[in-house]
Chain A
């Protein structure tokens, strides 16, 4: 069930990138997709248990796998910085293309 939700999120994000006309909407859709991928990592980590992998009373070995969590932390940071970079580029583009329609921009800058 949870897997289905995660895959649905990823797919929705992907279709957003594909079908949305506006560049900002496309970037938001990409964020949705990457949220889905992050959720997938969290889900994979939670296979063995749901507790934080810190030794404490009452958790009885029900620990989540720390490796995917650590890995996805890196990916979150990278994704965030890429998104920031893209938004800056979009801001600059918006000065001359206020509608930010991908098709129009593409026509304009085609060689």
Chain B
């Protein structure tokens, strides 16, 4: 049984790369092959859910690659499969070249690898491949602007990974091992260096401020993929480490609460749809980290909802909320937007509700206030989408492929609801409803009339790099404490 699972895992893990590199030989069937790979991932995630115990393997000898797969990985893998499938469906009729699908599927494969590996070096390789594939996807339009956004992304991510690598070297020095478990009793500076890399890659707290510009200035399908799954490749190891090691858990929780508040504070005052969604990703990663035990389910619902929102935002006539208020949007698109917004605000009947209830249940006492504030902020920021004017008149045609993609994601949201149906008790239902109502009230009375321009200083390139050194100091202090 175990050896069969191992064969299956290896086939699943390597398939995206084989397909990715051989798509060039069969350019006519690029979309079909890419979609097939995501279906295989979906099936694999389902098999993982059915496993009674976590699976782990040590490939080759004691210094070989370590893999670990459990239901946490399964949630992340399923997210990856669904979001990639939706993106491919979205691009189906848009005349993307074979190159685009190759990069998308290699990105899919490397993100999968990040979700299953359990040693520092395999993770490093997976994260770097993710960086390269993402760079190529962002730069796909070949405009100077997209090149700059991509270059900036690769620069920040590679510098972060150098810090990570330093941390890995120091950990090896103490324990002669690269496995995640070697972090136990590792020197302070090693853990701090490692975390700078992962926090930056996962878009957490101030070191994640590269994310808004990158995610909002990319093309719609690329934004959806980045916000839906790629940031989670940096978040997943943090969740895994928090679950494995007790010393790490409080650090991860602090950053979870911090980033949830920071992201939502920016999102509330943002006047641009895509930037608002991107800031909101920063905040939602905080929810995943705030309660590592149930982070998997939260990541799944966030991935589905954020990909759907980015794809829908791409179909809106304008990016500015102000212009959207004067320009009614087509009602079906508005409905899709509202369903996604409801789910992310934690409205019952959608899986965002279950995920939020589950996360709130697993918080530590000191986190409760911060996370409820963040939930309120979420309701406020998404009121901006819900209260947009709409009309049944079709202003502009939606491209083919849009609806299959969005419907797949929204259906995923409804179906994922069954994962935690215990959530439906009266008290559980009343709380999110109260938060949403309060959020709308605050939005209509205060936020809508306010014009606040938050400074973007921290998003400048130099500051992004500089913040890494500051974070290093902060982390050093935290690990020491």
Task: Name A residues whose Cβ lies closer than 8 Å to a Cβ of B.
Answer: 10, 14, 17-18, 23, 26, 30, 33-34, 37, 40-41, 44, 47, 65, 67-68, 71, 74-75, 78-79, 81-82, 85-86, 89-90, 92-93, 95-97, 102, 105-106, 109, 111
Main DSSP-derived SS at the A contact region:
helix
Are A78 and B128 touching (Cβ within 8 A)? yes
- In the complex with contacts A86-B155, A89-B151, A102-B172 CB distance below 8 A: no
Asked if B362 is at the interface of the complex by the 8 Å CB criterion, the answer is no
The answer for the CA separation of A41 and B124 in the assembled complex, in Å, is 14
The answer for the CA separation of A67 and B182 in the assembled complex, in Å, is 15
User: Using Cβ atoms and an 8 Å threshold, which residues of chain A touch B121?
Assistant: 71, 74
Q: Which of B364-395 contact A (CB under 8 A)?
A: none
Q: Which of B455-481 contact A (CB under 8 A)?
A: 460-462, 465-466, 469
Are B169 and A41 touching (Cβ within 8 A)? yes
User: Using Cβ atoms and an 8 Å threshold, which residues of chain A touch B150?
Assistant: 89
- In the complex with contacts A34-B162, A44-B173, A47-B173, A86-B154 CB distance below 8 A: yes
- In the complex with contacts A111-B216, A111-B272, A37-B165 CB distance below 8 A: yes
User: Using Cβ atoms and an 8 Å threshold, which residues of chain B touch A102?
Assistant: 461-462
User: Using Cβ atoms and an 8 Å threshold, which residues of chain A touch B136?
Assistant: 85
User: Using Cβ atoms and an 8 Å threshold, which residues of chain A touch B217?
Assistant: 111
Q: Which of B226-261 contact A (CB under 8 A)?
A: none
Q: Which of B271-310 contact A (CB under 8 A)?
A: 272, 275
CB distance from A28 to the nearest CB of B (A): 13
Asked if B125 is at the interface of the complex by the 8 Å CB criterion, the answer is yes
Asked if B21 is at the interface of the complex by the 8 Å CB criterion, the answer is no
Q: What are the 4 A-B residue pairs with the smallest beta carbon separation, nearest first? A: A89-B151, A109-B145, A78-B128, A109-B148
Are A111 and B165 touching (Cβ within 8 A)? no
The answer for the CA separation of A109 and B459 in the assembled complex, in Å, is 13
- In the complex with contacts A86-B155, A89-B151, A106-B460, A96-B144 CB distance below 8 A: yes
Asked if B406 is at the interface of the complex by the 8 Å CB criterion, the answer is no
The answer for the CA separation of A105 and B178 in the assembled complex, in Å, is 40
User: Using Cβ atoms and an 8 Å threshold, which residues of chain B touch A96?
Assistant: 144
Main DSSP-derived SS at the B contact region:
helix
Whose C-beta in chain B lies nearest to the C-beta of A65? B176
Whose C-beta in chain A lies nearest to the C-beta of B460? A106
- In the complex with contacts A30-B159, A86-B154, A89-B147, A14-B125 CB distance below 8 A: no
Asked if B413 is at the interface of the complex by the 8 Å CB criterion, the answer is no
Q: Which of B424-481 contact A (CB under 8 A)?
A: 460-462, 465-466, 469
The answer for the CA separation of A37 and B139 in the assembled complex, in Å, is 28
User: Using Cβ atoms and an 8 Å threshold, which residues of chain B touch A10?
Assistant: 162, 166
22 residue pairs of the A-B complex, CB under 8 angstroms, read A10-B162, A14-B159, A14-B469, A17-B159, A30-B162, A40-B169, A44-B169, A44-B172, A47-B173, A65-B176, A67-B178, A68-B172, A74-B125, A79-B158, A82-B158, A89-B139, A93-B147, A102-B461, A105-B148, A109-B145, A109-B148, A111-B275
User: Using Cβ atoms and an 8 Å threshold, which residues of chain B touch A109?
Assistant: 144-145, 148-149
The answer for the CA separation of A38 and B7 in the assembled complex, in Å, is 34
Are B125 and A93 touching (Cβ within 8 A)? no
Most A CB within 10 A of own CB, among B125, B148, B166, B172? B148
User: Using Cβ atoms and an 8 Å threshold, which residues of chain A touch B151?
Assistant: 23, 86, 89-90, 93
CB distance from A37 to the nearest CB of B (A): 5
